[in-house]
Chain A
């Protein structure tokens, strides 16, 4: 047996189906027999048109939703146990920072819930603020920061407890293009420094290709995985990577995979730039 199979995979999704309003007239098959494996340290994107189930899949992994069939293992445990044990951090499109807490206290939230003492919390928060390059913003209130800065704090919060897994649901969707590209580079640096596994939902093809080791292409009606595109751009990506030939080739590959999954429907909600 190889070392890879001995070590627990970061995420194992086995034959997961998710039907909303099951049995009723409004039944929706959001996920249909979906399977996925993510190795530790991988960066995996989920991309697809509206209704393909990418956000649903993310929430199933996060144990915020119970699938109607199939199972999910996170870090070798059931998704439920992984949530109890705080094995992942989550970031959303709305930064979701609490407007009544300072930046420091916002980042501290998961640590408070884990029962850490003040000293330890403060140390970790300093560390995280350094990591997201906002070391002097600790005493500010969230509404005093820009959108990009708020998202950085949200990421700092998600990683504060050093979880092995990071789940992100279009976290840069509300940002302008330049900030978005900048944040993508930042995110890669942070993940390289921490070795975190990431499952990232997006509907931007360039974003998915730039960030990921693998891009999981999904289609709607019912939600399923149609293709997985490996992106072999290596680990050291920077702004020059965006001008790389391989980069454009992979974007085309993903785009075609998306179109291929939509023989009758036109692709909805995909950014093509």
Chain B
């Protein structure tokens, strides 16, 4: 396929996916409103299990109320509108998430390479990497922040570090699998060129690993955003989307829909990060054979 042909097909896919995105939003709105119309205002039981959510306006505002909220004045922020305040918060969080993702990818790929190089490192270290993911971020956050304080680093580094902590693992696992996926014949070929391990890494193992790394990076991207937001909520002092959710939940009696506005901002952030990785995937993988879609 020619260069213009390829670009055109990436563009068509993008358009189609955006259209489907709007369609799915429309469906979500329809589901929300129809449930709100029929559901009990104060919740209900099924066989004694309280699983039917409440539908009153405070807890479950109308979707148009939530949409309108973005245009309202933000309480406590002068005469700025909610959307502009949230935009500022989102940008702040996004930057930390990107930093955390970059750090997480750096660490993740580095660990994967070390483990691919020395089998003993894989055997000795991988169990602990798995265990590390079982440590709840909330318990770790104060510990990290105390250490950060004693090292006199700026506040946002806690968020980036914790975001990296959540995002490095899927990168490590998927990269390791990818590095180990090079076909034996190709490894023999590189051997026949008397190519060293690092040369083989650069020219064979790493390119072969890319298709495996992509799903890992998608998980890492969303994990990174979560890591930052959780840090903002647990530690305070960082003016990001996470902060907004706490701030607005305290104002829930006067402006119930604002919490949802912050939630949407958080979700949008996750989508943007995911989209960035997906765009990267399209570019990186454009010259590879397509997966067979039955």
Contacts and interface: CB of A to CB of B under 8 A. Distances in A.
Contacts of B287: 100, 102, 141
B193 A110 contact: yes
B188 interface: yes
A96 B186 contact: yes
B199 interface: yes
Given A92-B185, A113-B199, A143-B289, A98 B207 contact: yes
A180 to B, nearest CB: 19
A110 B203 CA distance: 11
A92 B186 CA distance: 10
Interface stretch (A45-53, A82-90, A201-209, A248-256): A82-90
A90 B183 contact: no
A214 B207 CA distance: 41
B288 A86 contact: no
Nearest to A81: B194
Interface string A67-97: 0000000000000000110101110101010
Contacts of B208: 98, 100
A112 B195 CA distance: 11
Nearest to B284: A100
Contact of B193 (A59, A99, A113): A113
Interface string A4-19: 0000000000000000
A134 interface: no
A96 B287 CA distance: 17
Contacts of B191: 64, 83
A59 to B, nearest CB: 8
B204 interface: yes
A109 interface: yes
Contacts of B203: 98, 109, 112-113
Chain B, interface SS category: helix
Contacts of A101: 207
B278 interface: no
Interface in A104-119: 109-110, 112-113
Nearest to B192: A90
Interface in B49-89: none
B288 A96 contact: no
Nearest to A97: B186
B183 A99 contact: no
Interface in B169-220: 183, 185-186, 188-189, 191-195, 199, 203-204, 207-208, 210
A102 B288 CA distance: 10
Contacts of A99: 288-289
B192 A83 contact: yes
A62 interface: yes
B189 A90 contact: yes
A218 to B, nearest CB: 21
B9 to A, nearest CB: 15
Contacts of A62: 192
Nearest to B290: A143
Contacts of A90: 188-189, 192
A249 to B, nearest CB: 36
A145 to B, nearest CB: 12
A113 B195 contact: yes
A86 B188 contact: no
Contacts of B210: 100
A79 to B, nearest CB: 11
Given A100-B210, A109-B203, A92 B189 contact: yes
Interface in B257-294: 287-289
16 contacts: A64-B188, A83-B192, A84-B194, A86-B194, A90-B189, A92-B185, A96-B183, A96-B185, A96-B189, A98-B203, A98-B204, A98-B208, A99-B288, A113-B199, A113-B203, A141-B287
Interface of A: 59, 62, 64, 83-84, 86, 88-90, 92, 94, 96, 98-102, 109-110, 112-113, 141, 143
Given A98-B204, A141-B288, 15 more contacts: A62-B192, A64-B191, A88-B192, A90-B188, A92-B188, A98-B203, A99-B288, A100-B207, A100-B208, A100-B210, A100-B287, A109-B203, A141-B287, A141-B289, A143-B289
Please name the 5 residue pairs, one residue from A and one from B, whose CB atoms are nearest each other, closest first.
A143-B289, A100-B207, A96-B185, A90-B192, A84-B194
